[in-house]
Structure formats: structure tokens, C-alpha cells
Chains A and B, each alone.
Chain A
């Protein structure tokens, strides 16, 4: 088990930052690219998780447990956000019979 955790010790911090930024950028692309409201929501979850991983890596790097507590709070916030957001999507579907965000353009311009 000890040798298992030895594997991380040779990974530079920069590689964690690059991995998180790649995942975050994929999330941004997903929000800009898709028209299905649920897939956009999943891209937001992807961005939240990239930040979580980066906070954990920084927390381990500095030996500070506060970062991991922040990740715990972000997860609680994500759960609340998903519950309310999916309720809003269900309500939108009930009113417009689709989850296409291009239908919801009344606030445009």
C-alpha cells in the first residue's frame, strides 16, 4: 500500500494544473457547443470537478487540510445546484415540450 502512494510523488504540480485546465476547458466548450440544457448542466458539473481535483492537489502539495474541506463544501453546493437546476429544466420541458435552449430566447437583446 505504501508503494502505491509513492507513485504520486514523482508527478509535478504543473501536470495537475494542466489536467484540471484541460478538463475545465472541455467543460467550457461543452457549454458553448451543445443546445440540450441537460448536457450543458453536465458540462458545468465537469468544470466543478476539475476545480475540485485542483484544490485537492494544492491541499496535498501544501499539507493543508483546508483545501479538502473546501472541496467538501463545493460538493454540497453542487448537489443543491443540481436539484434546483433539474427542477427548473423539468418545468421548462413541461411548458415548452423541449429542453432546447434556443427556444428560451425571450431575454435576448
Chain B
């Protein structure tokens, strides 16, 4: 029980550091730590497949993509001009209002049941694979089309247009 609260505290701490770090590289490294705490949460929920996918896809692929992009556009100088204090206060108030509304609505629900793992092999690859390739076969194939079109779009957008630049 205390593991959950410790990891939850760590993920909130690192998430605050992500949006408050001045240097974007530090932001990305804190984001890696945040995602690692999420992986621990998945393991605690015995969602082993999601834990591995989160570890490999998010921390391994997506964040490395972020780091490479940051390297390509060479932002290592701390030159980001911050917004004015009024906009900062308004932003924190806006996010805080969203949080207060959600938590307030949750309080009206009263005490909830504890999360109990009824089926221990719920999140294992065998069980999820059966669901994925039976009920969700069409969305699975459509997502492959989505990834293909995203790849083509990314290559098309990021390559230099020779006619306009020269």
C-alpha cells in the first residue's frame, strides 16, 4: 500500500519538474523518470504487457525521438523567453480549477471500493493477445494503416523541399 503512495508522490514530483525545468533537455530526462514511475504502477497492477510496452515504446522510442529532435534543432542555450507573470498565474489557476472540479466531483461519490485483482492473469500477454486478435482485429489493422501514414507524413514533412529552399 505504501509503495503506491510513494510512487504516486514521485510521479507527481517529476511531472512538476517536467513543466518547470528551464532547459528542455532536463525536461525530457524528467519525463523519462515520470514514465518509469508509471511503469512501476503498471507492474503493481500486474499489467505486465502494458508495463513492458510502456518501457520499450515510451521510454525507449518516443523519448529518444524527442531527444534527437532537440539535438537536431540545437536548443541547448536557455533562451526560451518565459511568459509574463499574469499569464503564468492564469495558467496555474486554470489547471488548478480543472483539478478542483474533478476532485470535488469525486468527493460527491463517497468512499470507493479498493482495487482488487480478481483475475491474476488479466494483463498477461496471452490473455490480452486473445482479446486483441479476436474482438479488436479490425482496429488493430487500422492502427497499422495509421502508423504507415504517420511515417509517410513525417518523412514528407521533415525532408527539405528543394524547389523552395534553393
Question: A residues bordering B, Cβ < 8 Å?
Answer: 5, 7-19, 21-30, 32-36, 38-39, 41-43, 45-46, 49, 52-53, 56-57, 59-61, 63, 65-66, 68-69, 71-73, 75-84, 86-91, 93-94, 99-100, 102
B residues near A57, Cβ cutoff 8 Å: 45, 115
How near does chain B come to A5, taking the closest CB pair, in angstroms?
Answer: 5
- In this complex, how many residues of chain B approach chain A with their Cβ under 8 Å: the count is 89
If over half of B's interface residues share one DSSP class (helix, strand or loop), that class is named, otherwise mixed; here it is helix
- Contact A65:B75 (CB < 8 A) given known A29-B94, A32-B95: no
A residues near B102, Cβ cutoff 8 Å: 17, 21, 25
B115 touches A65 (CB 8 A): no
A residues near B88, Cβ cutoff 8 Å: 33
A80 touches B65 (CB 8 A): no
B95 touches A29 (CB 8 A): yes
B residues near A5, Cβ cutoff 8 Å: 44, 46, 117, 120
Question: B residues bordering A, Cβ < 8 Å?
Answer: 1-5, 8, 11-12, 15-16, 18-19, 24, 27-28, 31, 34-35, 38, 41-42, 44-47, 49-50, 53-54, 57-58, 61-62, 65-66, 69-70, 72-73, 75, 80-83, 87-88, 90-92, 94-96, 98-99, 102-103, 106, 109, 111-120, 122-123, 127-128, 131-132, 135-136, 139, 143, 146-147, 149-151, 153-155, 157-158, 160
